[in-house]
Amino acid sequence: MQTHISDPLSCEQIAKLSNIGERQLSRLFQRHLGKKIVAFYSEIRMSHAHNLIEQTSMTMVEISVSAGYDSVAYLSQKFKAHFGYTPAQFRKNQSDLKMIEDCT
């Protein structure tokens, strides 16, 4: 899953790669991680996008593609639902904090 952030695998593909059925894979995720496969994958992708915003100067289009989203708007919607703020708000906050640090 980590190696397929920009081109997310379907549950069916993950199950095939794991040599188990989709239903069994779903049960294992729920039992061991306490969440559905889709939710777990979404967390990986959100974390990836968050790190790229924080650590690079990539454009939001580039970040969206790298995190496996078809559009900046959809990434922004999912990002806000996950973190409570938009990618633009996060980047601006990071920029403001860097300016403050540079002044001290």
Q: Phi/psi at 7 (nearest 5 deg)?
A: -135, 75
Distance, CA of 91 to CA of 104 (rounded, Å): 20
Residue 95 has pLDDT above 90, yes or no: no
Distance, CA of 22 to CA of 61 (rounded, Å): 32
- The more confidently predicted of residues 32 and 100 is 32
pLDDT digits (tens, 9 = 90+) for 69-82: 999 999 999 999 99
CATH superfamily membership of 2-103: Homeodomain-like (1.10.10.60)
Question: How crowded is residue 63: how many other Cβ atoms within 10 Å of its Cβ?
Answer: 22
pLDDT digits (tens, 9 = 90+) for 9-63: 999 999 999 999 999 999 999 999 999 999 999 999 999 999 999 999 999 999 9
Domain range summary for the chain, segments of one domain joined by +: 2-103
